[in-house]
Chain A
Amino acid sequence: EAGVTQFPSHSVIEKGQTVTLRCDPISGHDNLYWYRRVMGKEIKFLLHFVKESKQDESGMPNNRFLAERTGGTYSTLKVQPAELEDSGVYFCASSQRAGVRMTEAFFGQGTRLTVV
């Protein structure tokens, strides 16, 4: 079974440019999460999809970040325009939804974004 995959693995862009990150969750997982780790700091929650709906987007830093999950399958996270402080590793995770009990989340390898 394929795990959570993210694309690209690395991206270096200039300040002001646009970047789109993609996450393909494990097939059948309703929950999809985006997290970000800025250098030397903890992993921070960005948002949570249940199927195609945004369950919680309280962690999105500002309106330069736009996440979508059309059809409830893969998700994209667009940063437009990118700023220097957006640099970090963006992780995607997915989990099943078994009643009200949440199972462990499986992570992708992350996308390392560098804004120069």
Chain B
Amino acid sequence: ILNVEQSPQSLHVQEGDSTNFTCSFPSSNFYALHWYRWETAKSPEALFVMTLNGDEKKKGRISATLNTKEGYSYLYIKGSQPEDSATYLCAAHNFNKFYFGSGTKLNVKP
């Protein structure tokens, strides 16, 4: 079992602010780290998959980094917009199944 933790649990920022949140996981028995964006009443949408230590991925204003040695990943949002409001989930998997964190709920105020 992989124990995946996310922080903070929730975050309120103003439009235009940059923000970041953390996903931590056990560094042993790990294969890949996934980030999902989940809007209410919709299905979680895949953002990034990372496997190698030092991996960095970017998609528009959103980017993520991975440190497998110390067991954490950061998700960054540059210049937050109201449409970025959602719950951001990370999930680690070890070949067989995904282990999810509880998510960081982001609210961007106009």
Q: Which of A's residues lie within 8 Å of B, judged by CB? A: 3-4, 33, 35, 41-45, 48, 55-56, 91, 93, 100, 102-110
Whether A102 lies near B89 (C-beta < 8 A) is: no
Which stretch (B12-20, B42-50, B63-71, B72-80) binds chain A? B42-50
Knowing A109-B42, A110-B43, the reply to whether A45 touches B34 (Cβ < 8 A) is no
Question: Within the complex, which residue of B32, B34, B96 is in contact with A56, where a contact is CB–CB below 8 Å?
Answer: B96
Closest 4 CB pairs of A and B: A42-B102, A43-B100, A107-B43, A109-B43
Task: Kindly state the separation between the CA atoms of A41 and B43 in the bound complex, as whole angstroms.
Answer: 17
Whether B43 lies near A48 (C-beta < 8 A) is: no
B59: Cβ under 8 A from any A Cβ: no
Residues of B within 8 A of A110 (CB): 43
Please report the total number of B residues contacting A with Cβ < 8 Å. 23
Whether A48 lies near B97 (C-beta < 8 A) is: yes
* Chain B CB within 10 A, most for which of A93, A102, A109: A102
Task: Kindly state the separation between the CA atoms of A77 and B35 in the bound complex, as whole angstroms.
Answer: 26
B89 (CB) vs chain A CBs: closest residue: A43
B94 (CB) vs chain A CBs: closest residue: A102
Knowing A41-B102, A42-B102, A102-B31, the reply to whether A56 touches B97 (Cβ < 8 A) is yes
Residues of A within 8 A of B34 (CB): 104-105
Whether A42 lies near B101 (C-beta < 8 A) is: yes
Task: Kindly state the separation between the CA atoms of A58 and B93 in the bound complex, as whole angstroms.
Answer: 15
Task: Kindly state the separation between the CA atoms of A78 and B51 in the bound complex, as whole angstroms.
Answer: 35
Determine how close the nearest CB of chain B comes to the CB of A74; give it in whole angstroms: 16
B99: Cβ under 8 A from any A Cβ: yes
Whether B98 lies near A105 (C-beta < 8 A) is: yes
Residues of B within 8 A of A33 (CB): 97-98
